[in-house]
Amino acid sequence: MKLEKGLIHVYTGDGKGKSTAALGQAFRSCGRGLNALVLQFFKPASQESGEHALAGPEGRGLGRIEFRRGQSRHPFFDKKADREAIKTEVLDLLEDVAQEWEDWDLVVLDEVNNVLRDKFIDWTDFEAWLNRKPATVELICTGRGAPQALIDRADYVSEVKKIKHPMDQGIAARKGVEY
Amino acid sequence: MKLEKGLIHVYTGDGKGKSTAALGQAFRSCGRGLNALVLQFFKPASQESGEHALAGPEGRGLGRIEFRRGQSRHPFFDKKADREAIKTEVLDLLEDVAQEWEDWDLVVLDEVNNVLRDKFIDWTDFEAWLNRKPATVELICTGRGAPQALIDRADYVSEVKKIKHPMDQGIAARKGVEY
């Protein structure tokens, strides 16, 4: 697969998430059959990292990665979406995780910031769920509009600020890059 | 492998790179033998994405991912680093890529913004290299202090702003998360 148009991305600033954003992009693109080269400066071989272990020949002790998804689209994109059904779905998905905390070392709640912002779960319910998280589990919450209560509770907080976005030039999401 | 202490990350804001930062983190952690669960809200199965193709059972048409690294550390961390050797290394690494542009669909230049900021390559030389990039190749440049000339040239620019960082609480980089 070749992209029709390859763009240039820049991830800059003093927050965490620049290199991992690039890595995540590389792995996503890989999943579409694109060939990705990651050229790293100032990270000599003596500083081996998890991504090398995954991608390199030595990648033998790999953990597993599992994706799970809610069935609903956000009401902003799906006018027929049922708010109550979404609330139930969110609670169910989170409860399933809480039942199997011990199986996971890292849990990503992708777009959960929007879930909280738009009150598909109350902060108190989410906080109760958070309180059940074992100390050894790393939790990552993404999405716009993270509520202040979550920011207060978090250890790592990065604000990813849009400086330029191709959508503003009328370039639509491209298979292999944006999804 | 279990983390000694699992932190909470938040990637928020209106720029690109929040979900991919989380994904990159998940894959990196995977490479360390951690088990990662990615729970996605508002991304139903009808919106299949490259990361699912990579991680799921249907991940058959995978592209390849290759990591290459310069041997030098940044002079900020290695007082004995030879600036001229770094300049040569940077030029060589970039020239190798230019010789095989057709092999790649996506190229990450990890930390290249620092390389440019600290003049290990002149902008004019880098720009000449950029001008050789085929239109179909997606290029990702990471690192602090991206120069304005690169920002002007880029399509996607996100500023990842630190709101909170565990290092500020004295928590050192942890295998499986930060590297």
Asked if residues A33 and B59 have their Cβ atoms less than 8 Å apart, the reply is no
- Facing A37 at nearest CB: one of B32, B77, B97: B97
Q: What is the C-alpha separation between B169 and A4, in angstroms, rounded?
A: 45
Q: What is the pLDDT of residues A26-64, one digit of tens each?
A: 888 877 778 888 888 877 777 777 887 776 555 444 677
What SS3 string covers B126-173? HHHHHHCCCCCCEEEEECCCCCHHHHHHCCEEEEEEEEECHHHHCCCC
Instruction: Determine the Cα–Cα distance for residues A84 and A76; give it in Å rounded to an integer.
Output: 15
Q: What is the pTM of this model?
A: 0.84
Model pLDDT, residue B115: 92
Which two three-digit tokens encode residue B146?
């991206």
Tens digit of each residue's pLDDT (9 = 90 or more) over A70-93: 888 888 888 888 899 999 999 999
CA-based nearest residue to B142, from A42, A18, A160: A18
pLDDT range class, residue A128, cuts 50, 70, 90: very high
Q: What is the pLDDT of residue B60?
A: 46
B34 and A37 Cβ atoms separated by less than 8 Å: no
Residue A105 to residue B68, Cβ atoms within 8 A:
no
pLDDT value of position A20? 92
**What would the mean pLDDT of B93-114 be, rounded to a whole number?**
90
Average pLDDT of every residue of chain A: 85
Residue whose token pair is 């790179």: B17
pLDDT recorded at residue B55: 65
**Which structure tokens are listed for A117?**
């912002």
Mutate to test the interface with A, among B1, B140, B148, B177 (most CBs of A within 10 A): B140
pLDDT, one tens digit per residue, over B50-72 is: 887 776 555 444 677 788 888 88
Which residues of chain A form beta strands (DSSP E)? 8-12, 36-40, 65-69, 106-110, 138-142, 156-164
User: Hey, what are B144's tokens?
Assistant: 């602090």
Closest by CA to B121, choosing from B95, B156, B160, B153, is: B95
Q: What sign does the CA torsion over A163, A166, A170, A172 have?
A: negative
Q: Three-class SS of residue A89?
A: helix
The 3-state DSSP class for residue B106 equals strand
Please state whether beta strands B156-164 and A156-164 pair in parallel, antiparallel, or not at all (unpaired).
antiparallel
- In chain B, residues with a C-beta closer than 8 Å to the C-beta of A177 are 106, 138
Q: What is the DSSP string of B60-72?
A: TS---EEEEE-SP
Q: For the CA atoms of B82, B139, A10, B171, what is the dihedral angle to 10 degrees?
A: -60
The pLDDT value recorded for residue B42 is 75
> Which of A5, A7, A20 to probe the B interface (max B CBs under 10 A)?
A20
Encoding tokens for residue A141? 């919450």
